[in-house]
Structure 1
Amino acid sequence: MAKHLFSQFPEDEQREVAAVCSRLGFVPDDFEITDEGFQPDDGDPAQRQVSVRRPATDAQCAYDASEGPGWIGEFESDLECGLFGKSSGRAPA
């Protein structure tokens, strides 16, 4: 199992997350974002799970990222519905 910090994610994912956060009044630093990848023993394709936690609210969620950056849309929906609380108000105008 390999665990990565958000700063180690692919640059395109980092940019997309930053854009989503900015649109909704957040910044990526509001969150602890990590991933873990693993190869199942049965020969299935590698799997990746992204975990997002907002320390200010202690809200957290895990997203299946095995198919790439599609998890970011789910994260955006969770931000919009308030799962992680209100925005920090720190995003650029």
Structure 2
Amino acid sequence: MPREVTDSAGITWSCIQAFSGLGKDAEKTEAARVDDSSNRFHVVCTPNGGAKSVRVELPGNWEKGLSDEALLRAIHEQLAQES
């Protein structure tokens, strides 16, 4: 299930763990896991309005345990690195 957050510019980001749409088996979970990390996963965040999606690395509890501010900070930091 995607998690949505809205930044100060009014952009709503829809974030979902990479490969989550492929099923819940262990192989798919492992595919999303960040190399050399036991508790970090690749998450894809897509903005409304057609701007570029970003892939961020977040802790395993990101869906419920990460604040909106921390999620937005990760998104914007990744955007800054890519530009």
Does TM, scored on the shorter chain, surpass 0.5? no
- Asked which structure has the greater CA Rg, the reply is 1
Q: Which has the higher helix share?
A: 2
Structure 1-normalised TM-score? 0.41
Higher RCO structure (Cα 8 Å, ≥6 apart) = 1
